[in-house]
Structure 1
Amino acid sequence: MTRLIVAAGGGGDAVAAAMLDAALYGDDGNAVIFTYAWDRLLIDPLPGPRGVANFTGLEPMTPAVWSVPATARPIAPAGSTLPRLAAELPHAFALIDPHHGAEGITRQLEELVNRLEPESIDLLDVGGDILARGDEPTLKSPLADALILAACCQVNAPIRLLVAGPGLDGELSADDLRGLLGPLVHTFTAKDVEPISPALEWHPSEATGMLAATARGVRGTCEVRDAGLPIALTDESPRVHEVDLDEALSRNQLARSILATTTLDEVEAQSRQICGFSEIDYERNKAAWLRDQPTMPMDPEATLSQLDQFEAEARSRGVTHTTFRHLTETLNLNGSQRHDLRQLVINNRPDQYDAPLWRLTTQRLSRPDEAHC
């Protein structure tokens, strides 16, 4: 029997879906993960999600659904983490193509359900912004979640909505979500993280990275994103709760407004009207700005010195951890330099690596070349 897990957000939710599948159902990998190819600008220089037309090597599953095998490739300049996930994880990855709106995704889901006849269907959202009304001032990326929620509510099949890591996406706080969450389904542990540990070494997802870190016991305050948003890492963070799907739809104004949409442009228009913005507009503006920024070679000594300064300032704000995505942005490095930065700081200060997060020191550590000065 096949299981179907729908990842509500971008690539990070797909990684979390693989962890959830192993934790709840075992590690046979007999699951299909239905997910967006939307890795944001750190991986993909093009704004918005990728569709079928942005890949070569996809394999047809149904007339409207294509899988992303390890041999698939995004067409330059687009980028995607999905082929590498397909190479490293035992699951099959089916592509959510949102360019035909909620009606298009509904059709894709219906075809998948008819083809697979899955024993279970779980819709997974890391963080909980799928439960947003749409007018919250902290809301940053409601579009993907609202789209998939709108589609799932129109499919004639039982779908269980699960929220993992309440508040970890920095959109709604754990306090805001507490009264909206249903029964506890699972609490992730360090053992649950093991199947996805290799992927966490390179995948840029902040929310799933924090979810995994808290499953391993990390607690504190983690600074994320380009803006340095503080996220509380608590005993609630590794938990997975069930939420009533219909109640989520009745709360999510954007999802209700896009039920009959047939284009992504329509979805964006509704997001601008209800939420006051479209996150793809933000990506368009940032992508245009990034194109004008020169990529300078990374100077290891200067970078470690900048890291010292960042850590001192962050500690004064009560921060205990950060992500490598945030470090890359705050040290004014290009997204393509994230891996080199990660290797540099881990090689120099391995005791600060709380995989996959970076732990701030309580005091400055000497670098190896300073040890005998």
Structure 2
Amino acid sequence: MRAAIAARTIRPIMRTLRIASGGTGDLITAISLDQRIIGGALGNAYASAVWERSTLDPFPGPRPRNAVRGLRPVGRLGQFTERTRIPGGLTQLPQLAASVEPPIWYLDLADGVQGLREQLQAIMDSGGYECVDLVDTGGDILARGDEAGLISPTMDAALLAAVADQDFTATVTVLGLGVDGELSLDHLGSIVRDLEPSGRLRISAGLAAQVYRDYCWVHSESSLLALLGAIGIIGRIDIRPGSELVCVDRRCGTAWTFDANHVYQRNLVARAVRNSTSFAALDNSIKMLGLTSEFGHEVAAARRATAPEGRPKLSEDFLGSILPSATHVSVRRLAKGFRLTGASDLDRLHRVVAGQLGDDYRRPAIPVDLLPAVIQEFQSRAEIQAPPTGSQYDLKAMGF
């Protein structure tokens, strides 16, 4: 990395719309970045689609406008409020909207990338914003799109295509390289060098601790792990079977910013979905690349969904599947070992972990040496409840 670039610090001089590229969790990173700019950037705003993990929302894919309630209307657009709800599911966007002064705009993927482009231009005009910044935690947005470890390319690609070659300035900012466990640090380092970032900044330990205290209740692994690393908490986290361990250390507090057009040009998926006019067409473009989107995985899971009830039982191979050099296991990793499929069960697991670890609990990471006690306590106290499944929703309404 050239020294001049490495030493450069990002200081936005334009009113910026920060978009959570991966959904709710990336809003925490966006808030961290704004707080880094002398306590907050006046006139900035946020935007996000509603695409929650199936544990929180059994509805496959992003929620279209007609499946979101309680948005504040702004012309044809909408903003999240503390009264926003998604029938049949859970999103923490209302709590986030209530926690910050800037508005959080709703993004609808129902009309594909072309619909997103129109929405973004309307938001920019309505709010008088001059720059869009796609905020991503972990760095999977920097991928080509065909890497073996990549599991969530859809929304990143759609948003990249939506901001490319627009009349406004567009950037991509990544915090915590590798904390999402999708791409290796070596691969990400190579991408960063190739893209030649336009700037970087560091989230200080003090700021990271403040944001972590304010938002550790959010169901997000990557964003919280990045903050823990910035604070100075070090570990090797097993977050997903078959994936490399996530290295959490102070490097996680570094944010890199890139020209969005440069990131778009190297992304095969973003270029493939550029002309889509519906979410179904967007997803089909990904299939034509020979890839399976996260939406495809969610639909398949919803159609075969069965949830265990009664006392939780850990899968037989769970403990043996943890990598020997891991220092921690993520709560979501343990939840999948128990086959938990509902938000209430996930919250119950968090409470058990917090009860066992007390003030030493750094959500979402469980020290490996304390894992047996957590498992035993959860098995003795919990009753799994079967949540609603995505089969109750009409996929034909989404164009499938």
Aligned residue number for residue 369 of structure 2: 361
Q: 2:124 aligns with which of 113, 135, 147?
A: 113
Q: Deviations over 1:219-244 (max 9, x none)?
A: 22111146665222244322111122
Q: Residues 102 and 90 from structure 1, CA distance in 2 versus in 1: closer, same or farther, beyond 3 angstroms?
A: same
DSSP-derived class of the 1:136 partner: coil
Q: 2:152 aligns with which of 141, 157, 160?
A: 141
Whole-angstrom distance in 2 between the partners of 1:81 and 1:142: 22
Mapping of residues 222-241 of structure 1, within 5 Å: 222-225=237-240, 230-241=245-256
DSSP-derived class of the 2:177 partner: coil
Whole-angstrom distance in 2 between the partners of 1:321 and 1:90: 35
Aligned residue number for residue 356 of structure 2: 348
The CA deviation at 1:209 is: 1.6
Q: Residues 311 and 131 from structure 1, CA distance in 2 versus in 1: closer, same or farther, beyond 3 angstroms?
A: same
Quick one: which amino acid aligns to residue 359 of structure 1? Answer: P
Would the aligned equivalents of 2:130 and 2:168 in 1 still touch at CA under 8 Å?
no
Instruction: Determine whether 1:323 maps to 2:325.
Output: no
DSSP-derived class of the 1:44 partner: coil
The CA deviation at 1:136 is: 0.8
Instruction: Determine whether 1:69 maps to 2:81.
Output: yes
Whole-angstrom distance in 1 between the partners of 2:287 and 2:214: 34
Q: 1:279 aligns with which of 283, 286, 294?
A: 294
Mapping of residues 225-304 of structure 1, within 5 Å: 225=240, 230-290=245-305, 292-297=306-311
Mapping of residues 131-210 of structure 1, within 5 Å: 131-181=142-192, 182-198=197-213, 200-210=215-225
The CA deviation at 1:198 is: 4.9
The CA deviation at 1:190 is: 2.8
Instruction: Identify unmatched segments of 5+ residues in structure 1.
Output: none
Whole-angstrom distance in 2 between the partners of 1:214 and 1:235: 5
Q: 1:333 aligns with which of 340, 343, 350?
A: 340
Mapping of residues 18-57 of structure 1, within 5 Å: 18-27=31-40, 30-57=43-70
Quick one: which amino acid aligns to residue 325 of structure 2? Answer: G
DSSP-derived class of the 1:98 partner: coil
Q: Deviations over 1:22-73 (max 9, x none)?
A: 113523775321111111111111110112111221112242x210111111
**Percent identity between the two aligned chains:** 27
Q: Residues 348 and 252 from structure 1, CA distance in 2 versus in 1: closer, same or farther, beyond 3 angstroms?
A: same
Q: Residues 331 and 132 from structure 1, CA distance in 2 versus in 1: closer, same or farther, beyond 3 angstroms?
A: same
The CA deviation at 1:312 is: 8.1
Whole-angstrom distance in 2 between the partners of 1:367 and 1:254: 40
The CA deviation at 1:199 is: 5.4
Give me the CA root mean square deviation. Answer: 2.9
Q: Return the TM-score normalized by structure 1.
A: 0.87
The CA deviation at 1:341 is: 1.2
Whole-angstrom distance in 2 between the partners of 1:289 and 1:42: 15
Q: Return the TM-score normalized by structure 2.
A: 0.81
Q: Residues 155 and 119 from structure 1, CA distance in 2 versus in 1: closer, same or farther, beyond 3 angstroms?
A: closer
The CA deviation at 1:352 is: 4.4
> What count of residue pairs does the alignment treat as equivalent?
359
The CA deviation at 1:191 is: 2.3
Would the aligned equivalents of 2:149 and 2:243 in 1 still touch at CA under 8 Å?
no
Q: 2:72 aligns with which of 59, 62, 76?
A: 59
Quick one: which amino acid aligns to residue 27 of structure 2? Answer: A
Would the aligned equivalents of 1:213 and 1:357 in 2 still touch at CA under 8 Å?
no
DSSP-derived class of the 1:163 partner: strand
Q: Deviations over 1:70-112 (max 9, x none)?
A: 111112x133221121123333211110111111111111011
DSSP-derived class of the 1:99 partner: coil
Higher mean displacement: 24-33 or 183-192: 24-33
Q: Deviations over 1:169-217 (max 9, x none)?
A: 2222221111322255212233223453355432221111211111111
Q: Residues 345 and 29 from structure 1, CA distance in 2 versus in 1: closer, same or farther, beyond 3 angstroms?
A: farther
Aligned residue number for residue 82 of structure 1: 93
Would the aligned equivalents of 1:4 and 1:31 in 2 still touch at CA under 8 Å?
yes
Q: Deviations over 1:270-299 (max 9, x none)?
A: 111225212101011222333x2233255x
Quick one: which amino acid aligns to residue 274 of structure 2? Answer: L
Would the aligned equivalents of 1:184 and 1:239 in 2 still touch at CA under 8 Å?
no
Q: Residues 312 and 101 from structure 1, CA distance in 2 versus in 1: closer, same or farther, beyond 3 angstroms?
A: closer
